[in-house]
């Protein structure tokens, strides 16, 4: 990637924005947004996603980021995987974002609202409550078999980034397993949501930041290995 980002900090500080300032996109804005999209590393380069910007957006956002996507498990995972990397890139540039499942642009499972963050108001409070944003599971609840006492801090940091991934109504529909100090396995529901791909992206960029490189491998439907 062209720009060195502190993904761990971005993941820990980012939150869904639901109130935006009025801001009309400029050509420079569009170039910056598509630059964040282009920087995303694909999980499966054989899956084509043609990301586009729609100017009309809910919640007062400046636009929607979306792509046409099939309904297979692999395609939905890819959508979330690339989309979340774009979200983190936009966050680094000062944009506010929100994965929005109710905004279905042509052929897309959901869209990403983006814009300049505004002062949180009633809408933020209401939608935050509806999305159960304050009921996130702890890491210990998500790790199958527990975290070995002698695990390296890197393992816990990678899983913590995965835990913080946004998901539909904060379902956190995944669990983690520690294989070794250089590998974890993430299992999750697929269905019609790209949540699992979002979770994998958070784990991948964190492992890459800390270890210098990371590999995500599909083991089975809904089951992926992250190694570094």
The model scores a pTM over 0.95: no
Same fold, 7-129 and 139-227: yes
139-227 belongs to CATH 1.10.150.120: no
pLDDT score of 4: 86
DSSP letter at 24? Answer: P
Contact at 8 Å (CB) between 52 and 168? Answer: no
Contact at 8 Å (CB) between 70 and 94? Answer: no
> What residues does each domain of the chain span?
7-129, 139-227
7-129 belongs to CATH 3.40.109.10: yes
Strands (E) across the chain are located at 51-54, 63-67, 96-100, 111-115, 174-180, 183-188, 215-220, 223-227
pLDDT score of 105: 92
pLDDT score of 186: 98
Angle in degrees, CA 204, 163, 92, rounded to 5: 60
3-state secondary structure 147-203: CCCCCCHHHHHHHHHHHCCCCHHHCCCEEEEEEECCEEEEEECCCCCCHHHHHHHHH
How are beta strands 215-220 and 174-180 bridged, if at all? unpaired
Distance CA 197, CA 52 (A): 19
Average pLDDT over residues 113-123: 85
């Amino acid at each position: 990637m062209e720009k060195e980002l502190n993904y761990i900090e971005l993941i820990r500080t980012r939150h869904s924005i639901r109130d935006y300032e009025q801001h009309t996109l400029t050509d420079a804005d569009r170039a910056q947004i598509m630059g964040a999209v282009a920087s995303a590393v694909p999980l499966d380069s054989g899956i084509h996603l043609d990301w586009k910007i729609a100017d009309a957006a809910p919640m007062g956002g400046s636009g929607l980021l979306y792509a046409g996507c099939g309904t297979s498990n692999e395609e939905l995972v890819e959508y979330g995987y690339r989309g979340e990397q774009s979200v983190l890139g936009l966050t680094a540039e000062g944009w506010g974002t929100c994965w929005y499942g109710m905004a279905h642009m042509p052929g897309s499972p959901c869209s990403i609202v983006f814009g300049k963050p505004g002062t949180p108001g009633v809408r933020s409070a209401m939608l935050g409550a509806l999305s159960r944003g304050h009921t996130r599971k702890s890491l210990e609840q998500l790790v199958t078999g527990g975290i070995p006492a002698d695990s390296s801090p890197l393992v816990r940091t990678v899983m913590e980034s995965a835990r913080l991934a946004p998901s539909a109504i904060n379902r956190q529909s995944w669990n983690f397993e520690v294989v070794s100090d250089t590998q974890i396995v993430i299992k999750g529901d697929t269905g019609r949501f790209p949540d699992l791909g979002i979770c994998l992206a958070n784990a991948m960029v964190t492992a890459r930041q800390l270890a210098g490189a990371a590999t995500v491998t599909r083991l089975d439907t809904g089951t992926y290995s992250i190694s570094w």
